[in-house]
Structure 1
Amino acid sequence: MRGAVMSSTAAAGGFVVFLLSMPVIQGQDGWGVTYSSTEICAFKGSTVEIRCTYRYPSTENAVRVEEVIWFTEGSSHRPFDLRRELSYAGRVQHICSNNNCSLRITDLRESDSAEYKFKFITNQTGRSYTGSPGVTLRVTDLQVQVHDVQQGFSRTILKCQSSCLPDVSSYIWYKSGQKIQEGKSSYSSHIYPTDSYSCALKGREDFPSPPVCVHRQTCNRVIHTDRSICAFKGSSVDISCTYSSYNTIRSKFWFSPERSHQWQSPSQPEDLSEDAQFAGRVQVLESERGRSTLRITDLTESDSAQYHFKFNTKDFEWRSILPGTTLTVTALQVQVTRITVHQSDTEAELKCHSSCSPAARLSYVWFKNGQKVIKEESSVYKDRFDPGDSVSCALKGHEAYTSPLVYALRVPSVLVNPLGDIMEGSSVTLTCSSDANPAANYTWYKENGDPDLQPLSKDPELVFSSIQSSDSGEYYCTAENQLGRRTSEYIYINVTYGPRLPSVSVSPSAEIVEGSSVTLTCSSDANPAANYTWYKENEDSPKASGQIFTITDFRAEHSGNYSCEVQNRRGRNKTSVHLTVAGTWKSTAAGATAALILAVILLSVFLWIGKKKASKQSSEPGERADTREQSLPTHRQDDLHYASIQFTRKPTNSLYSSIHPAPRDRHEEEEDASVEYAAVRFYRGGNYPR
């Protein structure tokens, strides 16, 4: 049932579409197709998209959709994929995601008006479903209709009409190619026989109605035959129009607004046949009165532009702002439609494709490794391809304009930057490249024996901003496109660095006995391997070279600090160790201890003798002693010094336990116990008491 307008699709993409009905759900037993609308009205030359959603029972085992088809009911009533219909060639596209599918038709023609249906086919024999009824598409064009025409130049009412226009739209009106009014669908004014009139929807000025003459067929107007044309690179194209004028035409030519930068005055179009870009490639044909055809040969992609026809009379110049004919020149492309990768080669199905819509069924020429493939003139080519094989296609008769080459993947190569030694901490870049078309996708790996190897990068370049010693190892990359996957050779990355702080071990690790053999071993992590040199403290010349240094007969003079110095071209480092002979140290310490004990004994004897003399003097009258002490000159009192010496027994050192002082008798011990100090006097020169 026809209903109100639901929505209109965005105009910016070339869509002028009106949905005239609600979505309808069709299906049974879990099978079905739901269309977003069952009636669509669109303008000639625009783009339409018909959408649907399909479903099938998910509980049934192993049901899988193998193919989807959009079709119209033909005379045979058998579904035929629109993508294979000649009249739709290059204008139809299927877009599917999950269970949502749409049919997009570009450059709509009035002959496209039909009922469109969607069908999906599963892997189960006889299990398919067609959404019926489908979606009815009506393609119409705007038309200017004349009402209330009176004799002479009286007021006339013009109306802009279409079979699917909503009444709420805003319109643009044109007179002889120039905009005159914006507003409602009707226009009322005094009409002159020289003028032509056309209209367009606001926002869709690219799709105006054809200009009409109100009073007669000889008013000033130009009607371009095609709004858009798509042609192949290297081919030829005819761009046509019909024209008429109320007065005699004095000059006429074709021009392109995109070439205005070449004109002497940007506001004054110039004849295309005089443009250097088209020299020798442009021809204007007049097959009949009132029809002009612009023929351009050897088309290039830079010829893609809009083309207009212009004429001048004695009193009038046709300078329309209405669109002319848009030409799009495209090159052929080889697309991979199916592929099976084998160990040594690749089996593929290729298609020679262009975005253009051919006017007739075309013949193609295929080339493999530069050689023509015999007996293959269709747009599809199947073959087996080895690594490095190249394929291209061309239109028959235009073999000089082949598509870009498509390569079966070559083995990728790896480039290391910088070349030469790689120093730790520097920046290193590995680049993977393969001559491939379509362009390859790259992945980097590091070999570490892990079967579940994780990729390091999915870019052509693997970058180490500050490479470390742990990054040393084997690397490889893979290149993959629609024609297969190839793996590069392994490349070893060797990161060099200076010696780490060396470690030194001493053997034997216990005390070093004089006369024994001592081995020093030095080790350090370095790349390249380091050189080892041994030094002894306070000696300039090295003692030895190599990781191991052995002293076979270790003596006291060998004691001291030894250093191990490691060096490579990236740097140097060193570590020291102290060696001492255990026996020599003990003998020296024992001798020093014995001398000290002897000194203590001598000092004790000296003090004992002093004590004896003091005891004799103390037996004389005390007054005499006091008198002598008082009779000393005053200036000699400054020279008098006293020393108090006390001896404390200390624990004996086990090291010297074998050395003991001589035994003393009990009488001496008792006398020593009564001595607390000794007084000693010193006199200058010979001034001492006699």
Structure 2
Amino acid sequence: MSCNYIYPAKYDNIKIVIEKTFWFTKVINGDHVDLKDDPDYSGRVEYNCTKTFCSLKIFNVSQTDSKEYKFRIITNHPGGKYTGSTGVSLYVRDPQVKVNRLNNPIRIQLTCHTDCQLDPPVSYVWLEDGKANKESNNNLVLSSFNTTHRYQCAIRGHEDVPSPAVYAPQTIALSVTPSETVEGSKVTLTCSSDANPAANYTWYRGKVDKLLESNKNLTFDSIKSMDSGQYYCTAINKMGQNTSRVNVDVKYAPRSPSVSQSPSGDIVVGSSVTLTCSSDANPAANYTWYKEGEKAQKDSGEKFTITNIQNEHSGNYYCKVQNKIGHHNTSVSVTVVAGQPMSTITCRLALLILISMLVLITFRRTLKTMKKNTKLSDPVEMMEMRNAIEITE
């Protein structure tokens, strides 16, 4: 397409000089976008301008190029910017494939059509993955659903401009925004796939057993830790379907920690005690121990052991649980009591054993005496009985 233009040599006592000429289709914020700077035409346009003539050539034309194209000149005059009152309208037509899904059994019918006015008879060519198929009419029936092939049609004699290919959804791209998922934040899962016709999307939780959303995006306004897990997205069109999955790992600050003491209760001077701290967190938390009133860290790790404990070890100890999301503290009180010296315990134990032995010896002697006395008293009783009998006689 081309444009011819004229302009005055001089205007308002200013000699007119053409500073720029270009073609455009867009005006953004009042600025006319040169086609050479338009991403939609990058590397596809060429100007041929001489004096008051300028032509535009577009390469690799597609239906999306069906637009009105206008020409603009910019001069050195403050008000010397002009656009042609009418542009050039371009209509691009190419063959299109219509996809229809048949049932009983499931098959796919492809129909080739074009808006171009062609003289009959019209003959068609079908291409499978870029290679010509034997079919030559405008209908092609595929015996299977979810095919992995790409199909195009063309008007015979114009095989160099085939229709856009139709195909089932190809590799699915899944994304999680933001990439680091923190509990309480807004999180969006996005599913996209290269497919023609355009695919529809469905989201599932777990092993494709719970439908969550029939949309390209799955959004959590305030995600929770229980939302962690595998999410599946299925992309489907009339040519077939494809499924992919993404893992959602929700990060959260440490929960309120629990702390325990072993052994429990009061701790005797000279013995040992172990304090244990635990908390649920993602990522895993770090543990540090402090004693109330002291700035220096006492220990790190889930367990803190004090050996040969003394009275000065009494007091409140607290455990700080922290990950990059947040932190939490909890405390435990340790009470130290005085114990008995080992020498005293040994003496008391020896005295108890001695007393027990004396009691046992005394008991045995008493038992022997009782038995002996019983044996000596038997003859006396017999004599007394005999004397009683003689008197009676």
Question: Displacement of 1:300 after TM fit?
Answer: 11
Q: 1:486 aligns with which of 242, 256, 261?
A: 242
Q: In 2, Cα distance between the equivalents of 1:577 and 1:302?
A: 77
Q: In 2, Cα distance between the equivalents of 1:300 and 1:563?
A: 68
Q: In 2, Cα distance between the equivalents of 1:377 and 1:527?
A: 62
Q: Which range moved further: 375-384 or 509-518?
A: 509-518
Secondary structure of the residue that 1:362 maps to in structure 2? coil
Question: Displacement of 1:330 after TM fit?
Answer: 5.7
Superposed CA offset, 1:140-187 (max 9, x none): xxxxxxxxxxxxxxxxxxxxxxxxxxxxxxxxxxxxxxxxxxxxxxxx
Q: 2:325 aligns with which of 567, 570, 583?
A: 570
Question: Displacement of 1:362 after TM fit?
Answer: 2.5
**Cα 1:558–1:302 shift into 2, 3 Å:** closer
Aligned twin of 1:502: 257
| Aligned amino acid, residue 140 of structure 2 | Y
Question: Displacement of 1:364 after TM fit?
Answer: 0.8
Q: 2:193 aligns with which of 412, 430, 434?
A: 434
Aligned twin of 2:224: 468
What TM-score do the two structures reach when normalised by structure 1? 0.34
Q: In 1, Cα distance between the equivalents of 2:185 and 2:174?
A: 19
Aligned twin of 1:546: 301
Question: Displacement of 1:534 after TM fit?
Answer: 0.9
Q: In 1, Cα distance between the equivalents of 2:188 and 2:239?
A: 27
Unaligned runs of 5+ in 1: 1-275, 280-298, 305-327, 585-690
Q: Answer yes or no: is the 8 Å Cα contact 2:266–2:334 preserved in 1.
A: no
Q: 1:402 aligns with which of 162, 165, 174?
A: 162
**Cα 1:396–1:385 shift into 2, 3 Å:** farther
Superposed CA offset, 1:105-141 (max 9, x none): xxxxxxxxxxxxxxxxxxxxxxxxxxxxxxxxxxxxx
Question: Displacement of 1:417 after TM fit?
Answer: 2.6
Coordinate RMSD, CA, aligned: 3.5
| Aligned amino acid, residue 458 of structure 1 | S
Q: Answer yes or no: is the 8 Å Cα contact 2:146–2:241 preserved in 1.
A: no
Q: In 2, Cα distance between the equivalents of 1:470 and 1:365?
A: 55
**Cα 1:574–1:351 shift into 2, 3 Å:** same
**Cα 1:535–1:435 shift into 2, 3 Å:** same
Secondary structure of the residue that 1:455 maps to in structure 2? strand
User: Is residue 109 of structure 2 the alignment partner of residue 349 of structure 1?
Assistant: yes
**Cα 1:535–1:404 shift into 2, 3 Å:** same
Q: In 2, Cα distance between the equivalents of 1:300 and 1:523?
A: 62
User: Is residue 95 of structure 2 the alignment partner of residue 332 of structure 1?
Assistant: yes
Secondary structure of the residue that 2:203 maps to in structure 1? strand
Q: Answer yes or no: is the 8 Å Cα contact 1:387–1:410 preserved in 2.
A: no
Aligned twin of 1:531: 286
Aligned twin of 1:90: none
Larger Rg: 1
Q: In 1, Cα distance between the equivalents of 2:66 and 2:283?
A: 59
**Cα 1:512–1:431 shift into 2, 3 Å:** same
Q: 1:392 aligns with which of 152, 163, 178?
A: 152
Q: In 2, Cα distance between the equivalents of 1:528 and 1:301?
A: 52
Superposed CA offset, 1:6-25 (max 9, x none): xxxxxxxxxxxxxxxxxxxx
**Cα 1:428–1:303 shift into 2, 3 Å:** closer
Q: In 2, Cα distance between the equivalents of 1:445 and 1:522?
A: 38
Aligned twin of 2:215: 459
Q: In 2, Cα distance between the equivalents of 1:478 and 1:341?
A: 23
Unaligned runs of 5+ in 2: 1-53, 58-62, 69-90, 340-393
**Superposition map of 1:515-664 within 5 A:** 515-583=270-338
**Superposition map of 1:14-163 within 5 A:** none
Secondary structure of the residue that 1:376 maps to in structure 2? coil
Q: In 1, Cα distance between the equivalents of 2:294 and 2:200?
A: 63
Aligned twin of 1:382: 141
Q: Answer yes or no: is the 8 Å Cα contact 2:147–2:240 preserved in 1.
A: no
Q: In 2, Cα distance between the equivalents of 1:428 and 1:528?
A: 18
**Cα 1:474–1:341 shift into 2, 3 Å:** farther
Secondary structure of the residue that 1:470 maps to in structure 2? helix
Superposed CA offset, 1:18-61 (max 9, x none): xxxxxxxxxxxxxxxxxxxxxxxxxxxxxxxxxxxxxxxxxxxx
| Aligned amino acid, residue 205 of structure 2 | K
Percent of aligned pairs sharing the same letter = 51
Q: How many pairs align?
A: 258
Q: In 2, Cα distance between the equivalents of 1:567 and 1:358?
A: 75
| Aligned amino acid, residue 203 of structure 2 | W
Give the structure, 1 or 2, with the largest relative contact order (CA under 8 Å, sep 6 or more): 2
Question: Displacement of 1:468 after TM fit?
Answer: 2.5
Aligned twin of 2:23: none
| Aligned amino acid, residue 298 of structure 2 | K
